[in-house]
Structure 1
Amino acid sequence: MIFNRSKSEIPSADEALPGRSGRPYQVGGTHLTLGNPVETQAPDGFEVAVFGLGCFWGEEKTFWEVPGVWSTSVGYAGGSTPNPTYEEVCTGRTGHAEVVRVIFDPSKVTYQQLLEVFWENHDPTQGMRQGNDRGSQYRSIVLTTTPEQQEQAEASRAAYQVRMTAAGYGEITTSILPLATYYYAEDYHQQYLVKNPYGYCPLHATGVTYA
């Protein structure tokens, strides 16, 4: 039965929660650290990258601290349920991962550099978890927005696998897929660690550097 499905199994589109046609909440305003819009398209000449590497509260902070990043937001992607809520994602029945959407200026930081931040700030061998956070929402995933990003991400995974193997780790489980739809998470999740400076969201970096 669907209700007995493990949170570590990704449901098919037929099995996923039905969701809704419109978002049940609003996100807006200005990024509390970067000072740019949160819910926005990338300005001309800028690019968008989307990464899932565990709990999105801490991972958003990791990316907004990178020079050249113009804005960040957290949301849900990689699943089937349209316009999901956090509570729905937590059931494991939407198929979505918690992700960070990064708008960046490629003249100041490259996509390759962001990939290196991604690999070095979590353990990409843990499958459907990061540390004690268990379930498909915490899986390692890269969602690409251009064919060039797809090619770079796949090449970087192969390169980092060499480093991880040398350090005694197993197979990288990271999925690399073209982004279908990104759904913004609820406003209280955006820049969570600014709003809640004592919030708990540990990183699970292995200490293995990319190069």
Structure 2
Amino acid sequence: MYDAEIFAERLKLLRRVYKLNLQQLSSLASLALPVSQATINHWENKRRVPALSAIQGIADVFSVSLDWLSGRSDIPYTESLMCSLEREYCPLKVNAPDESIITLWPAKTAMAPDEYINERVRHIYYSLGVRANILLLLQQIKLDVLKNDLIIKNPANHKYSVLYTDINQEYMMSLYRLVSVNNRLGLPEKQAALIPFSKPIFDLEKEIKQSIHHKMDDE
């Protein structure tokens, strides 16, 4: 059952963890389904009940389960959902003005380790939290490219490409850190499983645990 109180709390928690204001979340969510910052504000203040499609869109931005966001579960991530969203965003593609498709990532200009590209072993080398971070950054990069018109035509061959140097470099460096700065990379699968996972930049699971402890201390 949908719980407005829990939904509002968890939506605000997600924005706080990822350091997103209302406008930033509105822009990211609108990559899939238009939603205004005023509408998100109404949800957080329990003044409106969101449509199912809207809740699903917000959940997908953060790679969390719809059940967790709506209060039906206390587990934010699932392997099956993460894999489904990764198939949507990896490789990350955008449409050029001539309707050709440009692969933004992974690409020669922005590569990724085989351990991430290979869906079969990805869960061994990357935690669900890190993978959720990666997916949100890919959405931010796509939005940055589209919003700032970073797709240009080469006058020599009339083909379109992306101005990688003009993409928000904080996004690109954070993506590199999450994907490539990882002590498990390069190790055999069994050995890699013995090494602690790299920590996410935006740690939702840690914040959830801290919130639970605070509530228990207040009781």
Q: Which has the higher helix share?
A: 2
Q: Same fold (TM over 0.5)?
A: no
Which structure is higher in strand share?
1
> TM class, shorter-chain normalised?
under 0.3
TM-score (norm 2): 0.25
Highest relative contact order (Cα 8 Å, sep 6+), 1 or 2?
1
